[in-house]
Structure 1
Amino acid sequence: MTSLLDQSVSRLDLAVEADPDLKPIRRLLSLPHELVERELTLKRDSGKLQYARAWRCRYNALKGPTKGGVRFAPNTSSEEVKRLGFLMTLKCALLDLPFGGAKGAVKIEPGSLSTKERYQLAEAYGELFSDMLRPDQDVAAPDVATSSEDMEAMLAGLEHYANGDARGAITGKPEDMGGLALRKGATGRGAVVVLDRLADDYGIELDGCRIAVQGIGKAGLQFAESAAKAGACIVAMADSTGTIRDEDGLDIDEVGEAKADGTLDYTDESDAILSTDADILCLAAISDTVSAGNAPDLNCRIILEIANAAVNPDADDILRNRDIQVGPDILFNAGGVTASYLEWLSFRKGAKNPVNDIHALWRDRLVTTADAIAATVEECEQDWRLAALLYALRDLNAIAEAQGLFEA
């Protein structure tokens, strides 16, 4: 059975076919640099001990310290962590950030934890991987089911074993600990910045564009809110329970409030969002949502991947044959890591030399990257994923060559 990582790496074959000089970097990226699996001990409020698998993968460090979020999830695995570290490597290269790719995870059901247990869990992760997490080696951040409060606890665990540099090893922290207000909602907002920049290239106009969103969490809600402010009509949204609809456009503030209260008025099953008639289907929930099994049922012109690996590679040919364009995850969810970079940079510069005009720097980085991909897509027959992969691989390949990694 093909692994999750192998599936994602296989997408690089088209890039190598388009540019054979990239064959060495494709081989180099086929395996992670370092994958560490450890056991974490959690003392539940009942007094019982619970043991959970925890991972940290430093996938590739060609461009600098590795960077990647930490997720708490019951169905995570070493394979998922490797795949996500691979994608982060490509994303950082695409954005020309001075980072390699990484990812971390704990296999646990976060909803079963009390506030005290959750703090202990995140603190324990910081302690467990204190030998890896350093500003100049590996930098963690929030991911699925983790928050700024979890990063605060993780930092507390890390500081038990590290010096004052520990704060630079964690981004997405609370603002009073050096975090940036920009980081909140940056993934969803960033997707709209990129979409707005590329709307003409995609052959759409954002004002009046009909959008369906899978995901009513942080990223999905922020994307929907920002897209609606730009004039888009959010005709449907879905979470794991069901789908809500309004052909005249959902009120996103009301959706957010109803989601928090548990009073959403579902009209369809959750999967019905995928066949919604819309210009754009935004996937902001889980990986592998679109596959060969449901790709023929989609009723959209464009897919935006805000969730990592939202489209399984086995659906690529079907989507291509149906002329459904895909806005790849390494471009459309890049707002989060870009904000994390600016937080890390602020720490490096120190209080005497703060990074000025943070929002403008964040936006400029996303817009510049979008422009670069728009230029590259001309040689890729309008395949936006291929354009993004080519751009990222060429960057990594140039660095590897400069370091003499491919010399005989």
Structure 2
Amino acid sequence: MSDLLEQAVTRLDRLVEADPDLGEIKRLLSLPGELIERELMLRTDEGKTRFARAWRCRYNALKGPTKGGVRFSPTSTADEVNRLGLLMTLKCALLDLPFGGAKGAVRIDAGALSRKERRQLAIAYGELFSDIIRPDNDIAAPDVATTPEDMEYMVEGLEPAHNSGSHGAVTGKPLDSGGLKIRQGATGRGAVFILKQLQDDLGLDLTDCRVAVQGMGKAGLEFARQVCAEGATLVAISDSKGMVRSDSGLDVDKVARQKKDGELDYDDESDALFGVGADILCLAAISDVITEDNVDQLNCRMVLEIANAAITPSADARLAEKDILVGPDILFNSGGVAASYLEWLSFCKGGSDKLGDIESMWRDRLTSAAGSAAASVEECEGDWRKAALLCALRDLNAIALGQGLFEA
């Protein structure tokens, strides 16, 4: 088993200790059901052939077709893709969605590509995995460094194999290509919605919270906007270049505008964010940023994972010792996949007008998941990650028992 995946699976061991009946499902989830690794080929603007390693992991299909994003990143590995596929499997189970978990990636710096090359990259990914990605088997979506436009081009790559069905095999598309408005900003907005639902259980009052955010991408900025709309004060925000800070509060839209225009005046290095005094530290950038080496720098009451696997397992024990609450990724970043499910469902039913109140359906799905975790947190001695994982694993175990995979 690879290192990142092994670390993620190790967290499930604690659940088996608490509930031995989960031993078989934990064993089943220890390895991906299917990892496909292929070479993607594209033609550069100079007419040269370039190759990039590409993956699609269908981690587990117990609950139905697999679902997961596709990222373009120069640091992507098979190990990373497997870990993210496991997390998506658990996330879909926690939300009781009819999906298994998946993830895809291309090891490439998409930011260095021309517009023409980027379009070709997304089309090529769809073509390369057209034998796998289809509405009843595996559904793709945006992820790190991929956009609605990339999803539209991915559909184009799938069309020769699936015709009109290709639109149901990809979510997160532009509105005029079958996307849903609710998908826009759903990850950051969903995190704040869940926070609001659970603030009493967490001992928080959003109207009086000081918040620091790592990440000025789509999810981080949307989280910052939404939490400030609830009355919280954004005291610091960072990206890979540095941190800006104001004890009296930052204007999110002003920060976003200055960043876009290249005029952001940083106050300190990026890592200085961890020491900022705040009620909530939101991690919305990359994985593995809180480790056993820097966990003691934290000066917050709660760490919220919007980025997948933002906290390493090695930091878990120290966070508990410091009485810092953890808002786990499979719960707090689930707004995106809940919205993607509704986009897929609208395709299956023949249009979004067949769904009814889409906003209420999205909110109900998140409310139910938050409620399930809250109902289990006492059993888990106040550990919200353990509570969310326990709910997900019990759901998957019930499905496996119902399918006759294990003896009752």
Q: TM-score surpassing 0.5? A: yes
For structure 1, which segment, 364-373 or 352-361, has the greater mean C-alpha deviation from structure 2 after superposition? 352-361
- Matched residue, 1:397: 397
Q: Which residue of 1 aligns with 2:3?
A: 3
- Equivalent positions of 1:165-314 (< 5 A) are 165-314=165-314
Look up the match of 1:93: 93
Deviations 1:126-152 (A, max 9, x none): 000000001010000000000000000
Secondary structure at the aligned position of 1:326 is classed as strand
Q: Which amino acid aligns with 2:323?
A: D
Looking at structure 1, the residues matched to 142 and 106 of structure 2 have their Cα atoms a distance apart, in angstroms, of: 12
Partner of 1:33: 33
Q: Distance in 1 between matches of 2:255 and 2:362?
A: 28
TM-score scaled to structure 2, two decimals? 0.99
Deviations 1:304-328 (A, max 9, x none): 0000000000100110111111000
Q: 1:274 offset after TM fit, Å?
A: 1.1
CA deviations 1:10-69 (Å, max 9, x no partner) are 000111111111000000000000000000011111111110000000000000000000
Counterpart for residue 134 of structure 1: 134
- Counterparts in 2 of 1:406 and 1:237: CA distance versus 1, 3 Å: same
**C-alpha distance in structure 2 between counterparts of 1:251 and 1:70, whole Å:** 32
SS in 2 for 1:247: coil
CA distance in structure 1 between the aligned counterparts of 2:270 and 2:129, rounded to whole angstroms = 37
Q: Which moved more, 1:351-360 or 1:362-371?
A: 351-360
> Within 1, Cα distance between the matches of 2:188 and 2:320?
25
Is 1:110 aligned with 2:116?
no
- Aligned partner of 1:84 in structure 2 is 84
For the residue of structure 2 that corresponds to 1:320, the secondary structure is: helix
Q: 2:210 touches 2:234 (CA, 8 Å); kept in 1? A: yes
Where does residue 349 of structure 2 map in the other structure? 349
Q: Distance in 2 between matches of 1:363 and 1:144?
A: 24
Residue 33 of structure 1 aligns with an amino acid whose one-letter code is G
Deviation at 1:162, TM superposition (A): 1.5
Structure 1 residue ranges without an equivalent (≥5): none
Aligned residues: 408
What CA distance in whole angstroms lies between the structure 2 residues aligned with 1:191 and 1:74?
27
Higher mean displacement: 127-136 or 353-362: 353-362
1: distance between equivalents of 2:394 and 2:67? 20
Structure 2 residue matching 1:91: 3-state secondary structure: helix
SS of structure 1 residue aligned to 2:50: strand
Task: Tell me the CA shift for residue 2 of structure 1.
Answer: 6.1
CA deviations 1:258-296 (Å, max 9, x no partner) are 111111110100111111110110000000000000001
Matched with 1:320 is: 320
Cα distance between partner residues in 1 of 2:175 and 2:354: 14
User: How far apart are residue 353 of structure 1 and its match?
Assistant: 5.8
Q: Which amino acid in 2 is paired with 1:286? A: I
Q: In the alignment, is residue 72 of structure 1 matched against residue 66 of structure 2?
A: no
**Match of 2:300, SS?**
coil
SS of 2:103's partner is: strand
Residues 115-172 of structure 1: per-residue CA shift (max 9 Å, x gap): 1000000000000000000101000000000000000000000002223211110000
Matches of 2:293 and 2:287 in 1, distance apart? 15
Letter of the aligned partner of 1:213 in structure 2? V
Look up the equivalent residue of 1:246 and give its one-letter code.
S
- TM-score by structure 1 length? 0.99
2:288 partner SS = coil
SS of structure 2 residue aligned to 1:35:
strand
Root mean square deviation, CA, Å: 1.1
